[in-house]
Amino acid sequence: MKNKFNKKAVSDFVVEDIIEKIKSGQFEPGAKLPSEKSLSEEFDISRASTREALQKLEVLGLIDIKHGKGSYVSNSPYLKPLQEIVASKLLTADVGIEELLETRLYIEQGTVRLAAENANDSAIDELRELVQEMDVVVSEEDTEEFSRLDMEFHLLLGRMSGNTLMKRMLRTVRNLMRDQQEKVNNIDGVLDISQKHHRGIFGAIKEGSPESAQRCMTEHLMEIKQRFVSLG
């Protein structure tokens, strides 16, 4: 069966539909949204497109994605107009890569400290599994899959931080940098270096050392910054 949408941002149709249902009251504050699988079947789109739509809604502050539990309508519906305007302006702003890198550095330094302070056994196990999966991808030199898992790794740290605002800011900045990040990951040797840093960050979090986790993250992002500069 052919997808009912045209090629332009399939996920946007899902975003618009869910926003309308929130506005109409069909999805009330605190309500759980249909599962990713159910939404994919309803709109006849891939799980990846559905996941992208949910991530966009989270960036807008309209839903909260609770790992392993599902997606829920935000309990602050009166903030919707402001959230939509702010997110829209930020996502379409003409922001330079250096500004994005600086912003990402400050956000992720704080995020990883909080992640190390708040980590529980379940989160550490999830992070370990993700790092192990990334090890396999690096050995296979699968740059595209590594880029996806790299995003997942950093967003997981955002969730582990327990700070909703930092998590949303991190997702927004990462989305703005996605294309450039994929180009950096294609540079020879970058996957190995990045993964070494990821393992260091994981080790520091596992040991419960916020200072070490922040230091590893800083080294990681400074290395990434140099790679971005080398792209011109």
Fold of the CATH domain 94-231: Four Helix Bundle (Hemerythrin (Met), subunit A) (1.20.120)
pLDDT-based confidence at 78, cuts 50/70/90? very low
Dihedral pair phi/psi, residue 73, rounded to 5°: -65, 135
Give the pair of three-digit tokens for residue 30.
């605190």
Q: Which of 162, 58, 165, 152 is nearest to 107 (CA)?
A: 165
Do the two domains 10-82 and 94-231 of this chain adopt the same fold?
no
Query: How many other C-beta atoms lie within 10 A of the C-beta of residue 39?
Result: 21
C-alpha dist (Å) from residue 46 to 132, 141, 144: 26, 25, 17
Among 68-72, 90-94, 115-119, the minimum mean pLDDT is found in 90-94
pTM: 0.63
Give the pair of three-digit tokens for residue 53.
């739509």
- Write the CATH number of the domain with boundaries 10-82: 1.10.10.10
66: helix, strand or coil: strand
The whole-number average pLDDT for the span 125-137 is 96
pLDDT number for residue 118: 94
Q: Domain extents for the chain?
A: 10-82, 94-231
HSE-up of residue 198 (Cα within 13 Å, Cβ side): 27
pLDDT number for residue 88: 53
